[in-house]
Structure 1
Amino acid sequence: MQSGEIQNSDECLKPVKSFLRMHSVLVGGVVLGFFVLCIWFLWAIYGAPYAVGVMCSVSEGECHFLAKLGQVGDLFGGVNALFAALAFVAIAISTFQAFRTYRQDRQLEQDGILAAQVKSTYEWAYKAFSQNGCRPKAEGAVWSTTARHLLRAKAIESMIETRMFRLIAAEHKEYWRSQFAMAFRLPDEDGNDSNYRGDYFGFCEFDHDLGVLVRYSRMENDAVKVVISFSQWDDSVVDPLISLEEEDIVNWDQGMVGVALKKHLRALKDSQESVSKALGAVKDAAN
């Protein structure tokens, strides 16, 4: 019960903590201003009368009214200096806050432009790679241009600093990665199934001077590697499916597809139990 109350309390405090983290300078300025006001009021109520009493007790006959006022005014010199210093600090904090806000806005604007360019570069790469909905031609220019676009998209993506736009760029990359993977299975312009064997990547010619059969490449091999690598899943990326919890998936068993999946999972569970029993029987027979 207590752990549940603590957890609920933490959930309630999350917005407050988030506000304090985002507006730490503003909160600090408010606290500093409140502290200054407290000092000023305490000085006016207690400090100044005490100072006047001490001064007049030394020589009461010479303690004239105007002199006392002047002396009291002089006593506020330190407080005035404090206020001036605090005003300078407040201006510095305000300037820093404005500069930080400006820098954040500029970073968001720049990252938005970069994320949009990443999307465009992937589109250009795919357009150069798969023309007219067919598999890529066995031409060096096709593979080299595609590889250059993909490498530039990667370089542009690395310049993005904002988490939101990094996630958006990752979404674009995942979509176009799947498009490239499917493009490898597209038929050629004549409608033939994809076939990368034979003379697609290279060809052979007999060298009469050397008396041997020499193999030549039709395209830059590194460019081909770049494109193939892009179409594969990056193992360094955290798969969001791995951290997925069962309670995060709701209403998956609804509709025609959901009912079919539910039947499949039930049959799969029965099959696994049968296999487990069969393996146990084999193990017992072996013993």
Structure 2
Amino acid sequence: MSFIPNHVLPSTAQQPPSAPRGPDETASHVAEILAPLHEVARDSASLIASRQPIEIRRLSAEIHKFLLLGQRGGGKPIRLGLFAGFETGNVETVRALASLLLQLQGSLTLSRDFALIGYPVVNVRGFTAEAAPLADFEARFARDSAEADVQFFKTELRKWRFNGLLSLRVDPSARGFYAAVRSEIIAAEVVEPALAAAASALPLATQAVKVRPGDRYARTADYAHGRLSPPADVQPYPFEIELYAPRGPITEEHTDGLFVALTEILRLYRAFIAHGQDL
């Protein structure tokens, strides 16, 4: 584990090479990827799916959202936001998140005590005919644009008051999967052992866990630059984990590794807060 300043991480505006599909095909592909989740949700008591029709600059689009309620334990569920679809036209993280939710829906004991709220596509314009870069969404998020996609995510962040945020990202320069975390203790107690458990299926970068500054100044700067996060003065501030995949397809084996990593994060974080309550 190492401590790194903000500028060492790949820019949130950095984009991988264009996907081989055209923009219209990409939007259709996203709908195809998410169709099984919507179908399962129709007959599920634990998975709730919704589509929010929106219009951005005269382009029609949908924001997909999935609420998965794990096996009920004691107390109030831990609210964890799962985000993907940041990099323009790159459906790999969208597919990975859909697969993770489907697997978790089939084994609710693994998400015991959690309410998982999944957003497979954050950069909505990046998956439309305009194929706008992530920098466009971040610029509009930073200035609190009235456009529907920005207001949707700002409302969700306020409404749910997440305990944690977990994002699936792509870093074209990476040589393996790695995680970026704001808290040294979450990195050491939760993320490092979770990635170690998944290492056989998930090829990890040499530096598998990077710790970002977690002070209020850093959070304020990130929010001002349009990073998908709540305002810096939210109390308590949610823990943040970003799982970065290298360039290229996320294979079925990689998804299995991400599933192990995610379920271990859930288990270890649940144990971490339970231990804290006992202190």
TM-score for both structures, normalised by structure 2: 0.20
Larger Rg: 1
Report which of the two has the higher share of strand.
Answer: 2
Of structures 1 and 2, the one scoring higher in RCO (CA 8 A, sep 6+) is 2
